[in-house]
Structure 1
Amino acid sequence: MVEQMICVELIYAEPDNQTVLRVQLPKYSTVADAIRLSNIAQRFAPDGPLRSQLGIFGKKVSPERVLKDGDRVEIYRLLECDPMEARRRRARDS
């Protein structure tokens, strides 16, 4: 019996660059499986993408989430500072 495969995209965005990787995985693979198979951690997220926030089409998911064909896995970078605090600083410095 031939194993069924799915195709998903992994997205990692840096301030000046966005990377899109397409990977094929066995059906019932998880977000963590896709991250490991793609090697995106070694290329772009040395702090560990499994500790980062993860999403599929903008909705937060856990690394254990089972993927469907066509899913778009998004790896969110950790914020360097609180966005509200950054706005306060900019307003104060203006």
Structure 2
Amino acid sequence: MNIEVAYALEKKQTLLSLEVDEGISLKQAIENSGILVLYPQIDLSKDKTGIFGKIVKLDAILRDKDRVEIYRPLIADPKQVRKERAAQGKKMRSSKKS
């Protein structure tokens, strides 16, 4: 079966296509792809993984045409960033009224 393994940095994305045997796990596919050699900073014990945007565990069994994704840790909490932007917007609106 055919799958893809994807990893994205801020300014560079890598998408590797490979043919694998049925019954392969997500972790085995990542290891077989060679992406861990290309990006030694990937740490499968810490970094989250998924298939087509849905987080799954390393022991998940893949299906034909799955896209395995390795996610980098977030730099900032998206909820906190939205709260800060909302607070800044309120502050700007109130200062314009003065």
Partner of residue 46, structure 1: 41
Structure with the higher fraction of residues in strand conformation: 1
| Percent of matched pairs sharing the same residue | 35
Map residues 11-90 of structure 1 onto 2, 5 A cutoff. 11-88=6-83
- Aligned partner of residue 30 in structure 2, secondary structure: helix
Unaligned 5+ segments in structure 2 are 90-98
Deviation at 1:87, TM superposition (A): 4.2
Please tell me the residue identity of whatever aligns with 1:16: K
Deviation at 1:45, TM superposition (A): 4.8
TM-score for both structures, normalised by structure 2: 0.76
- Aligned partner of residue 28 in structure 1, secondary structure: coil
Question: Which structure is larger by alpha-carbon Rg, 1 or 2?
Answer: 2
Gap change, CA 1:49 and 1:25, over 3 Å in 2: same
Gap change, CA 1:64 and 1:71, over 3 Å in 2: same
Please tell me the residue identity of whatever aligns with 2:53: G
Unaligned 5+ segments in structure 1 are 1-5
Aligned length: 89
Deviation at 1:91, TM superposition (A): 6.3
Gap change, CA 1:58 and 1:80, over 3 Å in 2: same
Distance in 2 between residues matched to 1:59 and 1:46, nearest whole Å: 22
Deviation at 1:83, TM superposition (A): 2.0
